[in-house]
Structures are given as C-alpha cells and as structure tokens.
Amino acid sequence: MNDKQKILVADDELYIRLLVKDILEPEFTVLEASNGEEAVSTTRTQQPDLVLMDILMPKLDGYAACYAIKNNELTKDIPVVMLTGVGHELNRQLSQEMGATAYITKPFNPEDLLDKARQYATALCVAAS
C-alpha cells in the first residue's frame, strides 16, 4: 500500500519532469502531465496533494490550468505552485490572481524545491485543523 503524498508535476519539458521526479520521488509519489489539459484532468482524477505547474505549456497554459483547478469544487483546495522560468513580477501577480499558492523560478535549488513540496503538500492537513 502506498501512503506517500502525491505531487503532480505539469511541465511540457520531459527533462524538467524527470529532474523534479528524481528530487521528490524518495518522499512522494510523483505524477506527470505534459500539458495544461492533462494537468487539469489528472488533478481531477488523481487528487494530488500538490501541483507543481509550469506556465508555458501547450493546449492550456499554466495560468488557465491553475484557474481551472482552483475553480472546480473537487480540486479547489489543492495547492498549485508555479514552477517556471518566467521570473517577472507581473507573472507572479497573475499566478496569484489565478489562485497559485506560491511561485518558484527555474533554475531552482533541489533542496528548496523539496522544502516547498513538504510545506505545501502538507498545507491541506494544516488548513483542515
């Protein structure tokens, strides 16, 4: 039986998904999505504890995917952390407006990513208390 928390990594770059998976997998079950539509669909069906979302993706960008996740009754409480190479303040603000919990820019420090994953994947448990 797998009682690890689930994290969905939504990024169109396979290398980034594999890198993040390598960092997180010892502690978490890592799910993957290669575009925004897949991210929204996987979030609905798998109910991960956290979504790490790139902004620039095909089919549905990270903003639209985040908005779809945060405005669905089944998935609205799942934290979405933007994980992107776009570091502009305007992008951070727009991410927040779409419902993102936090914003991490690439390149990222693996330890920092793991710390954020631990912090936000358990945020659901803390918020419920």
Look at residue 35 and tell me if it is in a domain: yes
Look at residue 72 and tell me if it is in a domain: yes
List Cα–Cα distances, 93 to 39, 97, 100, in angstroms: 21, 6, 9
Per the structure, the count of domains in the chain is 1
Look at residue 129 and tell me if it is in a domain: no
CATH number at residue 96: 3.40.50.2300
Higher model confidence: residue 112 or residue 87?
112
Whole-number pLDDT of residue 32: 98
Q: pLDDT tens digit string along 62-97?
A: 999 999 999 999 999 999 999 998 888 999 999 999
Look at residue 1 and tell me if it is in a domain: no
Q: Please choose, from the candidates 89, 93, 20, 13, the residue with its C-alpha nearest in 3D space to the C-alpha of residue 52.
A: 20
Look at residue 82 and tell me if it is in a domain: yes
Provide the domain limits for residue 62.
6-124
* The pTM of the whole model exceeds 0.85: yes
R_g over Cα of the chain: 13
Look at residue 80 and tell me if it is in a domain: yes
Whole-number pLDDT of residue 87: 81
Q: What angle do CA 9, 129, 53 make, to 5 degrees?
A: 15
CA 98 – CA 127 distance, rounded (Å): 20
Look at residue 75 and tell me if it is in a domain: yes
Q: pLDDT tens digit string along 26-72?
A: 999 999 999 999 999 999 999 999 999 999 999 999 999 999 999 99
